[in-house]
Structure 1
Amino acid sequence: MTTTTRVLLIGAGWAADSLAAYLKEQHQDWQLHPCRGREEQGSGDLLLWLLTEVLPAATLRHELQLWQQQRGASPLLLVLPSGHSYRREWLLQLPVDGLLDQPSAADIDQALAVLADGGRVVQLQESEQASAAVASASVTKGLGQWLFSSGARQIDQERLALETELSNPGVRGLRRLLIQGRLRELRMARELLGVIWDQPQQSVSSPAAADPVAIIHQPQQRLEIVLANRQGLSVLEAVEGRLARAIGAVESIDGHGALMALEALNPQRRRQLFEALLAEFRLLSERLRQQCGEAGPEQAMQLWQAQQPLLRQRAMQQLVGAYTQMPRDGALVPMAETLLAGIDLNAEDPELADLLPSLMALIQGRPLLIDGHLLAADEPPALLHLQQLMSNWVVRNAELISRELLNSCSSWPELRRSMLMPELLSTRQLDRQRNRINSLDRWQNLVERPMAIYESRRLLYDIGNGQLEQSVVHELRDAELRQLSWWQQAITLVLETRDALAPQVELLINRLGSLTVLLLTRVLGRAIGLIGRGVLQGLGRGLQNAGTEPERL
């Protein structure tokens, strides 16, 4: 940092005065110029806007745009006050170089140093307002959502009661088998209910969570992004570092029933597999940078596709150890060599999102195309999007490797204790897990995948906040739709038929409802009124006759 750094401090009140005193004490060579607004003339190498009161979102964006026009190329650091209700997605799109949420004076000092060196800083606290917004968004429902949530809530209540009973060690024999069968029926009934009412399926841990809420990328934990500079390779290194820290903090994996092979690995092996895949990804990205930095997309695609099976093999070798030996059939054999000789890692996950275009954009210094918008690589939405794609790549490749490991464990009993969870040590439980995975594969391939392609959605897995998170993104998948088999196309035809008949069925129900109202109010109601009037008239005449009739002695 130069000796003539000028900092324009925008703000008023005791907070701005105390911050100015702190910065002068820490940096005696800085020149701080207080400023209360754009009306006052002032310029600086760095602009620090200490927002003392919560402004409306439109007003804040307009003021930032005016400051952007006035300041030119000077970096702007925006400090948010406590108690604001700005959405995180909206904040990440603001035209600022630094964004701090309720920071300390030391955090502001460090952020200014990063911005002075050409970097970027984003620090956002845990957002409670976003959670409230998601909860309130589920209140407004259509008829299909209401019917689905009502039925799903009843199913989840019964499932919770049965799972509680099943956790009791005293429940054995036929009773346990009946409960497990009933749980499978309820699980299938919930999936069928979601297919009928066109609602996304997601795992719920309590009956109150049965309301269908769209799964989108809404991080609620503390978000911190620090970029030393804004080059694409620096952004890639920052994303790899963030993902490495997230993998190190992973404690549990809940794939909502879709990652059963990965869930079967013990936590230590699972983390080692994630780390091995991330290390191989770093090597592959470095090779792409060296060989395809100036090449066309065809050469990069060829290298990327050719390296995927080899990458998984090397990750498997790192997982078990290149020189580790284990008993098998009474003899010590090398684990890596034996496993690689008996497995096939050439298969690809058809639901894996394409990571290569975004990766090549970073390597070649081009902007990223995200949701139809071109964003610079150092923009926070672009960085988070790239991290999400990389997390999804790591998780799905780990699932492919885990399935091959699971198959190898069925014929190599000594391998189970080293790789799998304790409950899968028995041959019966392991075979049941493999059968579940095969059944899930058939269901996903024949039903779920055609529906996802037809609806232009893709499921992504994101490693963050110490756990595995799911998100659904929408992307164009017309090319995949044309490549579906006849059965898969029949599934899409059923969906199209349902969508075509839905307006007619709704119109028919409305007409039947109107006819029912007409019959009840005009015909049946009038008839009941006439009958009541006749009864009242008869009672009145009877009372009159009773009053005029002479008394008999």
Structure 2
Amino acid sequence: PYHFFTRLLENLRLSGNAQIDANLAAVTAKLQIPGQPILERAVLAGQRRELLAARWLINHLLATPQPRQINDQSQPQAAEQLPLPVVNIPSDRTITPNTPSLLSPRALQATIFTSCLNKLQSPLQNVTDVSLEIDILRPDKKRELLYLILQKVADTLDDLRNSQIEIRQLSDIKSAILHELWKEVSTEFFGKFSRVRFGNNQIEIINVILQSSGVVQTGILNQIPLVVDLFSYLLFQTDLIIDNTNYSAGSFEANQQAEMLLENLLIQVGNAVVQPLLNYLGDIEDIKQNFYDRKLISTREIERFRNSLSWKYRIKNLVTEPKAIFESRYDLFVFAPRGIAKTSIYAPRRQELAELSGIRLWVTLGLEFGDAIAPRLQSLLSFLGSGVVFVLTKIVGRGLGLIVRGILQGIGSVSLPEGKNKKS
């Protein structure tokens, strides 16, 4: 009976822990999705705390009692013959292993690309406070463009494998890879021989797009972070170092980080494809009918959208980017259940910080000065606030109390003679 009771408790504890761990992993994964409302995150955080508390209770209430140690030599032999407890875990509960997988580079790439492909089925509405060039596209055109970029990235990886490139060469050819990717996507998305009427002339769209290669390369493509790390991971299964953490190649965490980098790459290349169209052919009727969202087809809305993008790049160049460099982070755009969201990851950017100059440098100096003076200023304001409260409550309050008391006494002294006069 004792061993039966012990095995029963152990089965219950392990089975309960398995279910709690599965639910805990699901809730934790949802908490890591960017762009969620604050209320939903609070609910998920509460569920996570409840699961942790439930696991603690199970481990303490269903703890297996330890039998007394017996010096008899025959006891261990008898214990070895006891069957091990069997734990039945429901088949619909799966726990994601943290150990690295043994997938080949192509299989690893297929896993990550399939996950990204599934996310593209979700809404692609921009839920951030930052305007993106692809926001002007119709939902079907936006999805088509991102599908095409994903396909071209896969083709680029195949070409790099066939060329037997080495890891150390990726940094040298990064710009060329991104430029060729942008060129191929633009040509296929707009059509190699597609023409539109511009004034009295018929012009090829792709020729106008490719004339902006220098601006696009400098302003967007070269600013995409950690492209070399992503390609190195997909081609050579190197470990990923994200947020100051080393993720083993093939592990669940590493694949998640690689998906984020891939999603940001797709979105930024999409922005690079659409930007020349907005700058040079943005108000042509054929372009509006074939590509634009119907909410942004009027000339006023197009100009407002272009001005918003222009301000975005000015603010980013002068304020947002220096701040991100000073805070050692990169901003990434990713696919979330509600649409395109923004998240941040840590990355060392000391060299970029040393190269800042002009207004960008003064922005970082202002942030540093604010960090240095803010605690002291807060302490000073707190002290002054306490002094003001003391003056108002102790001195002014007592003074007002004395004044009110004097007024009441004066009223009483006046009313007393009047009462005597009435009696007389």
Provide the TM-score with structure 1 as the length reference. 0.56
1:317 pairs with 2:187: yes
Distance 1:135 1:333, change over 3 A: farther
Please give the residue correspondences for 1:362-373 in structure 2 after superposition, counting only pairs within 5 Å. Answer: 362-373=234-245
Matching residue of 1:235: 108
1:347 pairs with 2:218: yes
CA deviation string 1:27-80 (max 9, x = no partner): xxxxxxxx959989xxxxxxxx99532x4xxxxxxxxxxxxxxxxxxxxxxx52
Distance 1:36 1:233, change over 3 A: farther
Matching residue of 1:481: 353
Q: Is the 8 A contact 1:325 1:335 kept in 2?
A: yes
Partner SS, residue 259 of structure 1: coil
Please give the residue correspondences for 1:294-443 in structure 2 after superposition, counting only pairs within 5 Å. Answer: 295-297=166-168, 299-327=169-197, 334-337=204-207, 339-341=209-211, 344=214, 345-349=216-220, 351-410=223-282, 412-443=284-315
Q: Is the 8 A contact 2:192 2:206 kept in 1?
A: yes
CA-CA distance at 1:223 after TM superposition: 11
Matching residue of 2:80: none
CA-CA distance at 1:486 after TM superposition: 0.5
Q: Is the 8 A contact 2:196 2:203 kept in 1?
A: yes
Please give the residue correspondences for 1:493-532 in structure 2 after superposition, counting only pairs within 5 Å. Answer: 493-528=365-400
**Cα distance between partner residues in 1 of 2:178 and 2:94:** 31
CA-CA distance at 1:317 after TM superposition: 1.0
CA deviation string 1:336-394 (max 9, x = no partner): 34543566543342652212124313432332223223222222111111001100011
Matching residue of 2:19: 80
Q: Which amino acid aligns with 1:448?
A: T
1:261 pairs with 2:133: yes
Matching residue of 1:31: none
CA-CA distance at 1:416 after TM superposition: 2.9
**Cα distance between partner residues in 1 of 2:385 and 2:268:** 49
2:15 to 52, 67, 70: 52
CA deviation string 1:292-339 (max 9, x = no partner): 55x342x11122221211110100111023354555556665543454
Q: Which runs of 5+ in 2 are unaligned?
A: 33-38, 49-92
**Cα distance between partner residues in 1 of 2:238 and 2:359:** 41
**Cα distance between partner residues in 1 of 2:140 and 2:332:** 23
CA deviation string 1:122-164 (max 9, x = no partner): xxxxxx9855145899xxxxxxxxxxxxxxxxxxxxxxxxxxx
Q: Which amino acid aligns with 1:307?
A: I
Partner SS, residue 461 of structure 1: strand
Larger mean Cα displacement after TM superposition, 386-395 or 304-313: 304-313
- The two structures, once aligned, show a CA RMSD in angstroms of 4.3
Partner SS, residue 366 of structure 1: coil
**Cα distance between partner residues in 2 of 1:396 and 1:253:** 15
**Cα distance between partner residues in 2 of 1:278 and 1:551:** 103
Q: Is the 8 A contact 1:312 1:397 kept in 2?
A: yes
Distance 1:389 1:37, change over 3 A: farther
Identity of aligned residues (%): 22
Q: Which amino acid aligns with 1:494?
A: G
Q: Which amino acid aligns with 2:253?
A: P
Q: Is the 8 A contact 2:22 2:94 kept in 1?
A: no
Q: Is the 8 A contact 1:250 1:271 kept in 2?
A: no
**Cα distance between partner residues in 2 of 1:348 and 1:504:** 39
Distance 1:378 1:519, change over 3 A: same
Please give the residue correspondences for 1:5-84 in structure 2 after superposition, counting only pairs within 5 Å. Answer: 52-53=15-16, 55=17, 80=19, 84=23
Q: Is the 8 A contact 1:246 1:466 kept in 2?
A: no
1:468 pairs with 2:349: no
1:281 to 153, 165, 183: 153
Distance 1:223 1:82, change over 3 A: closer
Q: Which amino acid aligns with 1:309?
A: H
Provide the TM-score with structure 2 as the length reference. 0.71
**Cα distance between partner residues in 1 of 2:156 and 2:102:** 23
**Cα distance between partner residues in 2 of 1:241 and 1:505:** 52
Partner SS, residue 128 of structure 2: coil
Q: Is the 8 A contact 1:231 1:377 kept in 2?
A: no
Which one has a larger percent helix, Structure 1 or Structure 2? 2
1:271 pairs with 2:271: no
